[in-house]
Amino acid sequence: MVCSSLTPNTLHAFIIIYWTTGTEWRVVDKIKTKTTINYLDKVAAWAEQYPNAFPLWVGKIFSNLVVTHPEYAKAIYGRSDPKALTAYNFLIPWIGKGLLILSGETWFQHRRLITPAFHYDVLKPYIKLISDSTNVMLDKWETPCKEKRSLELFEHVSLMALDSIMKCAFSYKSNCQTDKDNPYIRAVYDLSYLTYNRMRSIVYQSSLLFHLSPDGFRFRKACRIAHQHTDKVIAQRKKLLKNEEEMEKVKQKRHPDFLDILLRAKDEKGRGLSDEDLRAEVDTFMFEGHDTTMSGISWILYCLAKHPEHQKRCREEIQELLGKRDTMEWEDLNKIPYTTMCIKEGLRLYPPVPVVSRELSKPITFYDGRSLPAGTITTLNMYCIHRNSSVWKEPEVFDPLRFSPENSNRHSHAHVPFAAGPRNCIGQNFAMNEMKVAVALTLNRFELSPDLANPPLLLPQIVLRSKNGIHVMSWVQEH
């Protein structure tokens, strides 16, 4: 075992995992017989028994350390040069070598060039745009609401999030919410599913076998669709910037958008991003900027649908703030404290990215004296960290007051929906702002309740989804 100090008698017996299809694993250990169980439920059960970490063996080829305690997570997140897991290379044909994939000096250079795109002065004008996109989505809810039909949140929120990021980051009106069967959304879903399947398949570790497989064909087709979408956005902006008058307008803009900053970014040596780097960062942000927020908003609304007492309190707070307005403003974001606590609690129970994996570039020693050598693969399981009963009291209970000011003395890495350390989510402020706007405007117009006949089935892919979607019932709110 790579972790010699984490011996079976002090931490965990070896577990052998064989993959099955869908959301399930077939588990065999030295004691138990074969059973088929839900992945997240089982890992959460192991985390309850071994609340720091445990070694996980997948077949006879791949092993890693699953981290389930914030103090262990803090030590790993704090590494100065963490490497992305090698399996993330399967994402390269899709999103290229952007911030998610890069490491070392190149990663640092990209991070430094892109950081100005998330300054609060840049984010301010986005609130109106996100409000507009959210209202387009909510207008579409009127018909199923009147017909008393349930809504599937992922479908609607995904389009809204893509619409928002296209308007905000690229000043591009895609009309994706009104165009039926948007090919880019379908492509992103297929790419997420196929990449995750490849990561967990021993057979698909072979590039040749994956290329020749039906999944490999679907993956290449989806990549072409996603790249055409990206190339269209970049080409349109570059064409505009060739015009000197338009270039002067962009330079005079007080708050340039994400794409403006990428195209104009220069380091201290005057070097900008190459065309390849530019597309990689745009593809990375288009995926991470809409797919993760889609997951977060959908699960948060589901939590509030399940807990009408908290939903009611949020609505009262929001309606008192907005009055007859149907648009959020920048100054409103800090005036909905209870709604913000509910958002954070939703992110605790259902983190949009449930796991993040890292390969240690250097040896590491944890607070309890246990150590890991360089090259060890570690999986930081946010889903389990957020439900660790040694950190959170009654972790399965939805309790927004965990995030009240008087309860703020928790471990710094107990709540990490956007990861932490040098490689934390660069767009987390953008994501939080979008979640606040979308949740607030939704509750201002509609009352939600869960569709009890169709409960969600957790599906941990690259982002946290549901195998059958998230279905809620909605009613128009009278002001």
Give 435's Cβ-side CA count (13 Å radius).
28
Which is it for the CA torsion 427, 429, 431, 433, positive or negative?
negative
Going by C-alpha positions, the residue among 82, 66, 70 that lies closest to residue 12 is 66
Angle formed by the axes of helices 428-445 and 275-306, nearest 10°? 40
Please report, to the nearest 10 degrees, the dihedral formed by the alpha carbons of residues 348, 353, 355, 360 taken in order. Answer: -110
Contacts of residue 178, Cβ cutoff 8 Å, sequence gap at least 6: 136
> What does the alpha-carbon distance between residue 438 and residue 434 come to, in Å, rounded to a whole number?
6
Give the chain's radius of gyration (CA, Å): 22
Say if CB 379 and CB 72 are below 8 A apart: no
Reference 100, options 376, 286, 294, 360; nearest CA is 286
Centre a 10 Å sphere on the Cβ of residue 157 and count the other Cβ atoms it contains.
26
53: which strand partners? 67
Q: Would you state the torsion angle of the CA atoms of residues 197, 203, 207, 211, taken in this order, to the nearest 10 degrees? A: -70
Hey, which residues does 450 pair with through a beta bridge?
Answer: 472
What pairs with residue 65 in β-bridges?
55, 378
Q: Where are the beta strands (DSSP E) in 369-457?
A: 371-372, 377-381, 446-450
Residues 6 or more apart whose Cβ sits within 8 Å of residue 194:
215, 218, 219, 222
Q: Determine if residue 223 is labeled as part of a ligand binding site.
A: no
Look-up: residue for tokens 């939903």? 311
**Which H helix or E strand runs over 221?**
helix 214-242
- The binding site for heme comprises 425
Binding site per annotation, positions: 425
